[in-house]
A and B are shown apart, each in its own frame.
Chain A
Amino acid sequence: MAENTLNIYEKKAEEMTRMNMIGKEAVFEQTDGGFLSLDADGVHYDRVKIVRLFPFSDADKYLSVREYEGDGREIGIIEDLDEMPEGSKQAIEHQLMLTYFTPVISKIFSIKDEYGYAYFHVMTDKGECRFAINMGSNAVSKLSDTRLIIMDVDENRFEIRDVESLSQKERRMLDMFL
């Protein structure tokens, strides 16, 4: 009986260390409810989660596909989203759109600082928006010398892909937070 248990743990450990790659033959579909289903290796999953393993450095590569139910066991890893068939790709992209929301700032209209908070008015890839950051905390963090993540008071995240692509004027406004 005890050996049995040991086997369970060994199996678990083995499962955890195994690299399962998910290839083109797996079929991802968007469900009526707006979530994502998967058929792979003869198994049907009503709903799966997609996790970006390198959300900043390689957002569309190495996506971990996990079960929704239970403790979210990993079903496998998609190496490159672009290599998936069009249908699956679209369904996955829709799911990522739902679970990752990091607007990318393309233009800074103004930054006004008032009593410890800075108010941003920007254009992002998700549309125009205004947000506020706390100047006392480390609201702006650097991913690299030119790439920034800005966390607002609500813990929304905004990204600036390349500071150098901003105009001189916009960069000067940002200087206070670098």
Chain B
Amino acid sequence: MILRYDIPGTIEKQITLSENEKIYYAVPIDIDANGKWTGDSYLIVTTLKIYICNTSVTDVLIINELENAKAEACVGGGILSVKKDGRHMVLAHYSSRHLARYAYVARGINILISGRFEEVISHEYERICPNCGRVIPGTKTCPKCSGEGRFLGVFLKMAKPHKKQFFGIFFLMIMAAVTTLLNPEVQKHLINNVLEGGGDMATALRFLALMFLLSAGIVIVNVMKSNASARLGSRIASDLRGQLFEKYQKLPLSFINDRRPGELLNRITQDTRYISDFMADVFCNLFAILFIFIWDVIFMLVLNTKLALITFILVPVVSIIMISFRKTMGRIFHLQYKKNDDVSSDLQDVISGMRVVKTYGKEKDESERFKRVAGDFALIQKRNERFWAGFDLIVSFLMGLGVVVVVYFGGLDVLGGSMSAGELYQFITYTLLLFQYVGWLGRLPREITRLTSSLERIYDILAQDVEEEDKDLKEFDIRGEITFDHATFGYKSYQPVLEDINAVIKPGEMIGIVGASGTGKSTLINLLMRLYEIDDGRILVDGTDMKDISQKSYHSQLGVVLQETFLFSGTILDNIKFSKPDASALEIIKAAKLANAHDFITRLPDGYNTYVGEKGYTLSGGERQRIAIARAILPNPNILILDEATASLDTENEFMIQKALERLTKGKTTFAIAHRLSTLKNADRIMVIDGHHIAEIGTHSELLERKGIYYNLYNAQIQT
């Protein structure tokens, strides 16, 4: 994301930089003081000052005199505010387009205020191309601006590993074109030599046989061609899917972080599916139709130049009419589709809310409402069907009209003797072919661009440089000392979830984490699990920055039990072994015993081989949880993370699992999130998270003495 725009020369001249002063950030202000759009204002941050400019500099602030800066997200936009002499000041007002940008700038200003001179750089991509104003489909550069002929480039890249199949299909396409074009030629001879020229039955049969062979050939070649294309398409798609999946696992988390999760999923599912669809529906005909089209035109010109030229005038006219009809049809059917959506979502709403509807006695209102929606739908449907019925007729009529024109002028030529009847017949067939393919070719650019952007999105990922693990990552046996050093993190750049977290956790210590929902408890744990990388500050493990520890080594020494247990489809054995595939049977049994799982597993008919997961044996919540605990402790980790591990269980189960956990947490650095404070009675220290910060940290009795948040929480819970 651009944090330093090119400033117009007129403004640049007005800013005189002192020695060592550098411009760090320059971002547009797109809303003016009256709340209207504006296009010529900028906020410029140098290492020493902040300038507000619209055509000329209107305000200058000295960074040293500020207390802090904040990008406040509002509805449909945001404001950058600074605090000076204890008072808040509005510096800039901007729309949502610059929301993330200003969050980075605010972070940058705060770093400068604190006396450091690091420049904040954003790795997020721009959403709109600053050059052409088009939306960038999730890639680094705008596909439109980054060069012409791009399609061929990416297409060849995709085709390269499958050269052989491509040539095979190419050959089939030419065959299809040749057979299609040859048929009218034979028909011409049939008419000229046999029907008109008084040929005998034998010649007629010979021609008929030839025609039959050609027709059969067309069918066979087309089937083979479609088959081969579909097969190649799904093979390419599955190759790319595999490559993408592999790449995702290697990519740095920051890359995944910068993207919406759905987007990455879409690249694996939708973009690759689009490629296989394209291969099956478009590519398989692409060259065949182009080939036919070109030869069709040439044949027509050779047969009768005058007639061909007349037809060529006619074809665009008819095509334009057809295209505009199609557009209208697209629109009205889109409306119908939307209304249909309304109807079904309404229906689902009412049915799933039936209890509420009945208890409030609203059956009648609801059915009235539904009748109205359904009536609207029926009306649109009726209208569209009528249009559709007419459309087909109009298309045939227009094409028929074209043929009538050809027959009229061609007929004159035949009567005049400059054209044979067979040639006229052949010409009409070519005309029909032309009509048939013009529409198809009209849609082609759109399909190609869609394919290009799908491919671009895929190669954008595949082309990412992965920070190879070899950059001197450390592997060592973790003792379990964790240090948070000014750790700051937010899922969205403009919304910090945790700010400036500082704490030192000794090896073997059990830390209970409490706080209201949404304060960042789970986020803290996500950071510990290294699912995300922190934005600022450091997290140290045994004195080493977490970033410098090999992920594999770190994760193998980490045990995690979450509230919602996920068991893979497979046996109990597979599920426990997931954390340490080379574990021996005895190790697994020991882990299960520690987790209080062994006994219930023994009672199952298939023992450890019981199949669980989506289609398997249904385990109760407590049983699943205990398997998850066994999985977590199997590698004997030195750091344990428990995120509400027992919250979804009944009292008895909770008690059992608590017992299991008590045994486990001894001597291991443990982080446990819990709502019920009683489950934290073994914790050495309690950490209270509130307002993005650690509000309180200390032993149970220390915190009670403080009479703060924990004190209140604790008392409220023992009383209820």
Chain A residues proximal to chain B, CB less than 8 Å = 1-2, 4-6, 8-9, 31-35, 46-47, 55, 68, 70-71, 97-103, 114-117, 119, 124, 126-130, 132, 134, 152-157, 172, 175-176, 178
Contact = CB atoms under 8 A, between A and B. Distances in A.
Contact of A5 (B93, B446, B716): B716
A97 B715 contact: no
A127 to B, nearest CB: 4
Given A5-B711, A34-B89, A47-B88, A156 B95 contact: yes
Interface in B68-101: 74-77, 79, 81, 84, 87-90, 93, 95-97, 99
A18 B485 CA distance: 42
Given A115-B446, A154-B127, A178-B338, A126 B76 contact: no
Given A8-B712, A175-B335, A98 B133 contact: no
A128 B715 CA distance: 58
B76 A100 contact: yes
Nearest to A156: B96
A157 B716 contact: no
Given A55-B75, A156-B76, A157-B75, A9 B716 contact: yes
A97 B35 CA distance: 6
B718 interface: yes
Contact of B128 (A34, A116, A154): A154
Interface residues of B, number: 43
Contacts of B137: 115-116
Per CB-CB distance, the 6 closest pairs between chain A and chain B, nearest first, are A33-B89, A34-B90, A5-B715, A101-B76, A101-B77, A154-B97
Interface in B637-691: 691
Contacts of A6: 715-716, 719
Contacts of A134: 135
B331 interface: yes
Interface of B: 31, 34-38, 74-77, 79, 81, 84, 87-90, 93, 95-97, 99, 127-128, 133-135, 137, 331, 334-335, 338, 446, 449-450, 453, 691, 711-712, 715-716, 718-719
Contact of A33 (B37, B75, B87, B449): B87
Contact of A31 (B31, B37, B87, B93): B87
Contacts of A33: 81, 84, 87-90
A116 B450 contact: yes
Nearest to B90: A34
Contacts of A176: 331, 334
Contacts of B719: 2, 5-6
Given A32-B89, A115-B449, A129-B37, 4 more contacts: A5-B712, A126-B36, A130-B133, A154-B96
Contacts of B128: 132, 153-154
B134 A100 contact: no
B342 to A, nearest CB: 9
